[in-house]
Amino acid sequence: MSVQNSAITETERHRNLLVLLFAGFVLSGIATTIIGPMLPIFIRRWSLDDRQAGLFSTIQFLAALGGTLASSVIAAWQGYRPALILGYALMGGGLAGLNADTHVVALTATAAFGLGYGLITPGTNLFVAELGAAKSASLLNYLNFAWGAGAMACSPLIALALKRNGLGILLTGAATFGGILVLGLLFVSFGVQKHEKDAHAASTPSSAIGLGVTFALAVMFFIYVAMENGIGIWSAEYAKRLASGITGMTTLAPMFFYAGLTSGRAAAPLVLRRLPERKIVLGALSLAAAATALLIVSRSLPVATVAVFLAGLGCASVYPIFIAWLSRWYGAGAKKIGGMLFALASLGGSAGPGLIGAVSQYSGSLRVGLLVPLICATILICLALLLRRQSAA
């Protein structure tokens, strides 16, 4: 009971900061997923093949990898604030330059907001996990619900902007939002971080943690983000090919994936009260695998849309629970281990969509390329089963 009361007190004390962090994750959701609905535009504008198109997500998440590594160094040196401020400044600037006339400038802008995403993600997740203590999985689901809200809004905003010839205005507005977050983070109080000395079990690393568990969790971070980004980024292009052209519905295809992701994260705290986290992870991954298989065999846009939504629903609670396990199992050591795991997640975000594009290019079929996230889901199920004893603790 004392752990829960402590978490509530800490959350109340950091209310203004949490508002900014949650709002920032809305923008982060837009920035992280914007390549998906923009990809058909880029392909048409510069006559890109699938391998060249996949380079956008590869550059985005390689830059995010650099940002994640830098975030750990900056946080250890100066705390969370500098990395968050720099991250949102880069994110806003990158979004402002995305609708460039030249391929190279658009790739540079993608790298900029990818670097910003990498800078803000580890600190935000770990800080919120610390505040949540025993309730970290639920609070992290709410945080990532905010990310999902931004991701879900991204596709319809792009579709509306294209319809009204206002893509530049939309991206400028997103950049302005980033500037507002920077100003807010300059003045809000982060308080004194005392969680490293917390005597509660929620912040004490378990003696049962071994190298095998750490390796398995690292692989899960990498593969999960590869799977999620792969489906989210390629869904619009897959829908376009089913419909034989860009339509409002094909541009909105990623929205259905992130709608499933967001609705699942909204419901997750309620489900977590009734079911163990491990069972939720296994059930969610099984749904994601089945939905990806349905997407691969779909022959019509409505069926593909349902499959994309179900895939998002299956992905919903997986990553927040992984982060909660990281925080709970490693305690104060999560800051050091977390830097490595979030870096691997960024690397997975780069590898997944790029691998789908490469497989699609060499096989001549995007359906074959989508076997990549299906294989990812299968591997994650196996790893979750191997971690049965640890995750039940």
Domains delineated in the chain: 2-188+202-391 (1.20.1250.20)
Q: Taking 90 as the threshold, does the pLDDT of residue 373 lie above it?
A: yes
Give residue-wise pLDDT tens across range 172-192: 999 999 999 999 999 887 765
Give residue-wise pLDDT tens across range 347-367: 888 889 889 999 998 999 999
Give first-to-last CA distance, the chain, whole Å: 18
Q: How confident is the model at residue 280 (pLDDT cuts 50, 70, 90)?
A: very high
- For 171-180, letters b (16+ CB in 10 Å) and e give beebbebbee
Residue with tokens 């580890």: 122
How many CB atoms within 10 Å of residue 132? 25
Q: How confident is the model at residue 383 (pLDDT cuts 50, 70, 90)?
A: very high
- Mean pLDDT (the chain) is 85
Range of weakest confidence among 21-25, 32-36, 218-222:
32-36
Give residue-wise pLDDT tens across range 291-343: 999 999 999 999 999 999 999 999 999 998 998 888 788 876 777 787 788 88
- Please compute, for residue 262, the number of CA atoms within 13 A of its CA located in the half-sphere on the CB side: 20
Q: Taking 90 as the threshold, does the pLDDT of residue 211 lie above it?
A: no
Token pair belonging to 257: 């994936």
Spatial CA neighbour of 114 closest among 173, 71, 75, 158: 71
Tell me if 339 sits within 8 A of 69, measured CB to CB: yes
Spatial CA neighbour of 290 closest among 353, 391, 381, 155: 381
What lies within 8 Å, CB to CB, of 66 at 6+ separation is: 115, 118
Element at 209 (helix H, strand E): none
Asked whether the CA dihedral 350, 352, 358, 364 is positive or negative, the reply is negative
Range of weakest confidence among 180-184, 269-273, 285-289:
269-273
Q: How confident is the model at residue 377 (pLDDT cuts 50, 70, 90)?
A: very high
**How far, in Å, are 41, 62, 232, 252, 322 from residue 38 at the CA level?**
5, 19, 12, 11, 29
Range of weakest confidence among 17-21, 42-46, 197-201, 223-227:
197-201
Q: Quick one: 191 exposed, middle or buried, by C-beta within 10 A (0-12, 13-18, 19+)?
A: exposed
Tell me if 360 sits within 8 A of 217, measured CB to CB: no
Q: Taking 60 as the threshold, does the pLDDT of residue 206 lie above it?
A: no
Report how far residue 141's alpha carbon sits from residue 138's, in angstroms, rounded to the nearest whole number: 5
Residue with tokens 């048409």: 44
Tell me, what's the pLDDT at 332?
Answer: 67
Residues 316/319/325/326 CA torsion (nearest 10 deg) = -160
Q: How confident is the model at residue 126 (pLDDT cuts 50, 70, 90)?
A: confident
Report how far residue 389's alpha carbon sits from residue 243's, in angstroms, rounded to the nearest whole number: 46
Tell me, what's the pLDDT at 227?
Answer: 96
How many CB atoms within 10 Å of residue 4? 13
Report how far residue 157's alpha carbon sits from residue 286's, in angstroms, rounded to the nearest whole number: 31
Residue with tokens 């950049």: 175
DSSP-derived secondary structure letter, 317 = T
Q: Taking 80 as the threshold, does the pLDDT of residue 159 lie above it?
A: yes
Give the whole-number percent of the chain exceeding pLDDT 90: 43
Asked whether the CA dihedral 262, 302, 289, 345 is positive or negative, the reply is negative
Report how far residue 62's alpha carbon sits from residue 89's, in angstroms, rounded to the nearest whole number: 18
Q: Taking 60 as the threshold, does the pLDDT of residue 201 lie above it?
A: no
Residues 227/228/234/236 CA torsion (nearest 10 deg) = 150
Token pair belonging to 83: 């990395």
The distance from CA 208 to its chain's CA centroid, rounded to whole angstroms, is 29
Category of 231 on φ-ψ map: left (φ > 0), alpha (ψ -120 to 50) or beta: alpha
